[in-house]
Amino acid sequence: MPVLSIRTNVSKDKIPDDFLTTSTDVLFKMLGKPRQYYAVHILPDQMMSFSGTTEPCALVSLGCIGKLGLEENKGHTKTLMEHIQSTLGVEPTRMYISFNNEREQDVGYNMKTFAE
């Protein structure tokens, strides 16, 4: 159930048409979960500042059942920041990524939780 959410002040017209697809591909390579469970959400045109300026910036969160942790997140940070920088033009010094290691019983899908 990997869910990638990105809030950014980058305008919608600067988001590549294939951004959702390429982001799913990046997540699939990174996490290896079945492709059917990935969700990617981007919220452009946000009123945001980072370090006191309104240059392109982003607040990113990645939720997943497993595949996250101290060592894994080091690689995930590099991979996601490279992807966001190359596709949205947001510098790594202008974004934060929050990782949320979800518990199976706390995520619902298809009328049940992943613990069932």
Q: What is the pLDDT of residue 21?
A: 97
Segment 62-106, tens digit of pLDDT: 999 999 999 999 999 999 999 999 999 999 999 999 999 999 999
Q: What is the pLDDT of residue 93?
A: 98
Q: What is the pLDDT of residue 71?
A: 97
String of DSSP letters for the chain: --EEEEEESS-GGGS-TTHHHHHHHHHHHHH---GGG-EEEEE-S----BTTB-SS-EEEEEEEESS-SHHHHHHHHHHHHHHHHHHH---GGGEEEEEEEE-GGG-EETTEETT-
Query: Using CA atoms, how far apart are residues 42 and 23, in angstroms rounded to an integer?
Result: 10
CB 90 within 8 A of CB 59: no
List, by residue number, the catalytic residues: 2
Q: What is the pLDDT of residue 94?
A: 98
Q: What is the pLDDT of residue 97?
A: 98
CB 16 within 8 A of CB 39: no
Query: Using CA atoms, how far apart are residues 90 and 51, in angstroms rounded to an integer?
Result: 13
Segment 19-55, tens digit of pLDDT: 999 999 999 999 999 999 999 999 999 999 999 999 9
Q: What is the pLDDT of residue 23?
A: 98
